[in-house]
Amino acid sequence: MKVYVDQDLCISCGLCISTCEDVFHWNDDDKAEAIDEEVPSDLEDKVQEAIEGCPTEAIKEVE
């Protein structure tokens, strides 16, 4: 599983970071960003939760 945050859609609500701070962090523009696009398998459930919870659907899964 790979993810990235669409910077144009992120409204910096912080939900993904509080849901899974091992995968998401703030970048220099105060937007959320995936620390590493490749998500460790044990964190996939948390990342899925973040994807579903993001209010602007900014978190995209790469096929």
Tell me how far, at minimum, the Cβ of 40 lies from ligand SF4, in Å.
18
* Under 8 Å between Cβ of 16 and 25: no
Nearer to ligand SF4, 42 or 58 (CB): 58
12 vs 38 by CB, closer to ligand SF4 = 12
Binders of ligand SF4 among 13-52, rule CB under 6 A? 13-16, 32
Positive or negative torsion for Cα 43, 61, 48, 57: positive
Assign residue 60 a region: left if phi > 0, alpha if psi is -120 to 50, beta otherwise? beta
Contact positions vs ligand SF4 (CB under 6 A): 5, 10-16, 32, 54-56, 58-59
